[in-house]
Amino acid sequence: MCLAIPGKLIAISQEHGLKMGSVDISGSVTRACLEYVPDIQVGQYTIVHAGFALKIIDEAEAAESMQVWNELLRAEAEERSARERR
Amino acid sequence: MKYIDEYRNPDLVRLLLEQIDNAVSRPWTIMEICGGQTHAIVRHGLDQLLPSSIRLVHGPGCPVCVTPLEMIDRAHTIAAMPGVIFTTFGDMLRVPGSHQDFFSVRSRGADVRFVFSPLEALQIARDNPRHEVVFLAVGFETTAPGNAMAIKQAATEGLGNFSALSSQVLVPPAMRAILSSPDNLVQGFLAAGHVCTITGLCDYFPVAETYGVPIVPAGFEPVDLLNAVLKVVEMLEAGETGVVNAYERVVSRDGNAGALRVMDDVFEIADRTWRGIGVIARSGLRIREKYAAFDAERKFDVGHIEPKESSLCMSGDVLRGILQPEACPAFGKQCTPLSPLGAPMVSGEGACAAYYRYQRAWGA
């Protein structure tokens, strides 16, 4: 059992003494226990596995990595255009 | 879908495949030990897109598949007991035991329910105080914290009618077992990304050092998986060993401290039998004595169980990565998801199920 789905936390509540949350996973809202992400705030993204949020997604790191890749793609597209123009 | 769509970008996939193709100069065998990754690789055809010199093999990353037949039979026996409501994740329902599966147990009047979370099982226990509610706690380190929380919460609330049947296993000992095998061909690993989210990376450094392999925690989308393959290939080509994180947005070096604390409170490390592999020392989690009242293995006397494996099922070889599913003579014939001979054909993380679902060369 390893698959965890990313979603956005939209609400926090308490149930039976446990911190619980409503997580929006692509428009479908699921309940998840937030005990393992105690610092999570509404609006942050997390990964949910078997009813538990396991980690706050590091959005800054994700954005940085994606930027590096997008720059590589841009450079590749420019090089292709330059070749086609010659 | 944020954090999914952008990691399925076909241009990025193409870019990474080119980078892998440029980096590789000789054959390499790389293993992933995570059923979720197995399914993603097969679903997206990543193994077919990679250069032919890179061989991706699938390890024992399906906790349902490696649960011993004796434990499956035990679960079926408990489920059939009067007064028991048996709860389990959905893909366990059709896993064959020696003589039956949960569907056939249910067809004879047992109350078997599938749940998405151990907390749902806990709620069933609250709602049914006169029934014994048993939860089949199967999984790797990703699932252990949730299962531990359910047991701990049951103890806190005094839910004496709740118990868990634990079949929890750990990934690093499985890696060691594979690398120690005399017929091992694996040269590098993609590590299970969400297992590492919980555990961090510390357990993997000694494995990498002792056996001289690269280990790269990987995610589950095509870009994540190919990025991890690229890192493994670069390390192999350079003769480097160690652990390099390719899933930094959710994996940190130290993991999830809160989850590890609760796991340690509820579970202790124990030897475990892995179906198809045998006993691997210190490779599983057992419920601690202080939570014995919530341990279904201690609570229910199932008598003597004599497991009977299918003579046709070759799941052991599949789980150790030495047989591709479609090479099994029973694949797609006597063994299909509707009539499985073994767990890998029916579990949501089984390699055989992945190959069948995504129509890999069966019947050819």
Instruction: Give the domain ranges of chain A.
Output: 5-85
At B363 the pLDDT is 45
Q: Which CATH number fits domain A5-85: 1.10.357.10, 3.40.640.10, 3.90.226.10, 2.30.30.140?
A: 2.30.30.140
Q: Which residues of A touch B (CB under 8 A)?
A: 1-4, 6, 8, 16-18, 25-26, 33, 35-36, 38, 45, 47, 49-52, 54-55, 57-59, 61-62, 65-66, 69, 72-73, 76
Complex ipTM: 0.92
B234-260: per-residue pLDDT in tens? 999 999 999 999 999 999 999 999 999
pLDDT of residue B361: 60
CA B323 to chain centre: 18
Which parts of chain B register pLDDT below 70?
A: 361-364
- Find residue B335's DSSP bridge partners: B331
- pTM as predicted: 0.93
Show the domains of chain B with their CATH numbers: 1-302 (3.40.50.11740), 315-354 (no CATH)
Q: Closest approach of chain B CAs to the CA of A54, in angstroms?
A: 7
Interface contact A2-B142, CB threshold 8 A? yes
Long-range contacts of A27-36 (CB under 8 A, 24+ apart): A33/B117, A33/B119, A33/B146, A33/B149, A34/A9, A35/B149, A35/B258, A35/B262, A36/B145, A36/B149, A36/B256, A36/B258, A36/B259, A36/B262
Contact assessment for residue B349 and residue B64, using Cβ atoms and an 8 Å cutoff: yes
What tokens appear for B129 in the block? 């105080």
Sheet containing strand B28-32, edge to edge, reads B54-58, B28-32, B188-192, B214-218, B242-243
CB contact under 8 A, A45 and B2: yes
Q: Tally helices (H) and strands (E) across chain A.
A: 1, 5
A62-78 confidence digits (pLDDT tens): 888 888 888 888 888 88
Question: Are the beta carbons of A2 and B259 separated by less than 8 Å?
Answer: no
Cβ B248–A61 below 8 Å, yes or no?
yes
